[in-house]
Structure 1
């Protein structure tokens, strides 16, 4: 009975996790397909989650996250230590550079945006909290991957495919880039995921030396040049050391 209860909780969270910024509303069929359960079983979970306010059901026979999740999110944001500690540093760098600043971490097989402070300029790099991107394309993904296990690196190397003309798709070149990142403790991307965007990322380490977050700045390469980006690295690295001490001391 205890194992069944735990499994039910895991499945309920699996249902909630299928909703994303790109798919905020889903049908019963789509949810069942994404979590890999029969529709009858999925429907029981959906009815329960609707009943407790975790999901909402619309007239178009679709489901979306409900009011309880919205309220819990507000509570979590206000008391989430990484947000409390890191967000002021992100605002400081955004105000200094006027460029977009983002915080990424690894979730499942992606890098996910935990926090974003938008650029103050009209032409900007747009990212949303909750957006997911490949680990193998872009400065933040590479800086997280550089400190990941060899199994994770091999898994991601098998996915290398061109997104833009700047995407690194050669395994040898990619491994050399990861080694360079480990040596200098920052990564740079020259339009690897999006043409015309230059980004840099610095790891935030926990007390065991694991890179748990990537602190990233990004902007149009015509304005946010490589020289300007690299010139900011020492200051960002110092900020990340301070963040690490406050988060993991």
Structure 2
């Protein structure tokens, strides 16, 4: 590992997690770097247009360059391209967030989403990450992941709320249930407000490559509403799979982010 690259990327991650520009001393503390080392790294990132100094120059913030890079990557993804209008159609039928997620290591990543029209919302922004065991889309991706990924996740069951799954045996039971019923639910497991329902999206070869989910506060989420949401999700997932298979017919490899094994 090249340490300077690791340090620079760590600074970008720290800045991305703040909702306002940060002072040098706070960045240095969060990154466990000396102020002089953090300052040199930030100046380099500024010269490369990844970071900008704000106000009187004492605070640092990200520019939109990283967003630009990520947006180009997402725009080139054929799964996102064909799925987006289907997500829009689904959002017209439900009043919650609609999200498309893929697995990267032990996390799920939102690669497309339509925001809820409801007055009270939970914000799962584009690019948001969550541990696989704590959200409905992540659970779907975990249930159909390679066994080594499941084993690694079992060793990393971080608790977020009292309802987060942290017991390996309970996780194994949850995975078995998801595989049997074809959908996953998560109630208040990543935070106290969020509930979600998700189903898998499969490639031409039957591999689970993504998850489609409906999520939000949904305090009135009855069993009957879950049944309705699952039916809606399966119907719209089938539309995505048909459209995506048409795009990739004869291509050989579907254009979707490859799950990492890390």
TM-score (norm 2): 0.74
| Offset of residue 23 of structure 1 | 5.5
Residue 51 (structure 2) aligns with: 55
CA deviation string 1:168-224 (max 9, x = no partner): 333212101101212222111233233364311112233454433221102334333
SS of 2:185's partner is: strand
Counterpart position of 1:138: 135
Q: Is the contact between residue 199 and residue 229 of structure 1 (CA under 8 Å) also seen in structure 2? A: no
Output the CA distance in 1 between the equivalents of 2:87 and 2:17: 23
User: Does the residue aligned with 1:189 lie in a helix, a strand or coil?
Assistant: strand
User: Which of 130-139 and 235-244 deviates more?
Assistant: 235-244
**CA 1:31–1:154 in 2, change beyond 3 Å: closer, same or farther?**
farther
Provide the secondary structure at the position in 2 that maps to 1:97.
coil
Q: Which residue of 103, 108, 117 maps to 2:114?
A: 117
Alignment counterpart, residue 42 of structure 2, candidates 39, 46, 51: 46
The separation in 2 between residues aligned to 1:203 and 1:46, in whole angstroms, is 41
Residues of 2 paired with 1:148 and 1:135: CA distance?
10
Does residue 149 in structure 1 map to residue 132 in structure 2?
A: no
The structure 1 residue matched to 2:180, chosen from 155, 180, 183, is 183
Match of 1:174? 171
Deviation at 1:15, TM superposition (A): 4.8
Q: Distance in 2 between matches of 1:166 and 1:144?
A: 19
CA RMSD of aligned residues (A): 3.4
* Structure 1 residue 47: Cα displacement: 2.8
Unaligned runs of 5+ in 2: 249-262
**Deviation digits for residues 132-160 of structure 1, max 9, x if unmatched?**
22221121121111122323222222333
For the residues of structure 2 that align with 1:41 and 1:246, how far apart are their CA atoms? 50
Of structures 1 and 2, the one with the larger relative CO (CA 8 A, separation 6+) is 2
CA deviations 1:14-58 (Å, max 9, x no partner) are 654444244664455666677777766655543333223222123
Partner residue in 1 for 2:253 = none
Q: Compare 188-197 and 213-222 and name the one that shifted more.
A: 188-197
Of residues 184, 199, 202, the one that matches 1:202 is: 199
5+ long unaligned stretches in structure 1? none
* Aligned with residue 222 of structure 1, among 174, 198, 219: 219
Moved more, 59-68 or 178-187: 59-68
How many residues matched? 245
2:209 equivalent to 1:212: yes
